[in-house]
Amino acid sequence: MDIEKEDDKSKIDFSSDTSKKDIVTENGENSSLSPNLDHSDTLHKLPDESLADLLPVAKKVAIATGAEQYNILQNNGRLAHQEVEHVHIHVIPKPNEKEGLKIEWPLKSLENGEAIAQEMIERLKASKS
């Protein structure tokens, strides 16, 4: 594993045997990781090889922040709040109630959960990737 600073003051190159990632520190807290060899716009379009190191690198970044509580965030599409048109993962420390990621996610009743689970199983079996 190689880690080196780029000319851009907030960008770090992270290289391993299987891939190369860019780590960008934003506002001193949020870090975003992206595979710099593949610029797919959504996760499902990214080759599995490009995904191999993303979560292990996110884990290393989370540890490096020193935060005991944090969020790992990955958005796909404008409605899902994706602002940059390539796959990237955010590591967002949550030091207290006021700082870090704020999530408002209204829970819905799951009346037909068994049928939904069965449908998902069939879709997963039929998936080619």
Taking only the tens of pLDDT, the chain with its 129 residues reads 555 555 555 556 556 554 545 555 555 567 777 776 677 899 999 888 878 778 888 888 888 888 899 999 999 999 999 988 888 888 888 989 998 888 888 877 778 888 888 898 999 999 865
Domains of the chain: 2-126 (3.30.428.10)
Catalytically annotated residue among 39, 86, 88, 90 = 88
- The Cα–Cα gap between 29 and 8 comes to 17
Amino acid at 20: K
Could you give the C-alpha distances from 19 to 50, 62, 64, 125, in angstroms and in order?
7, 19, 20, 28
DSSP state of 39: -
Instruction: Quote the pTM value.
Output: 0.73
Amino acid at 99: E
pLDDT at 119: 92
pLDDT at 115: 87
Is 86 labeled as catalytic in the residue annotation?
Answer: no
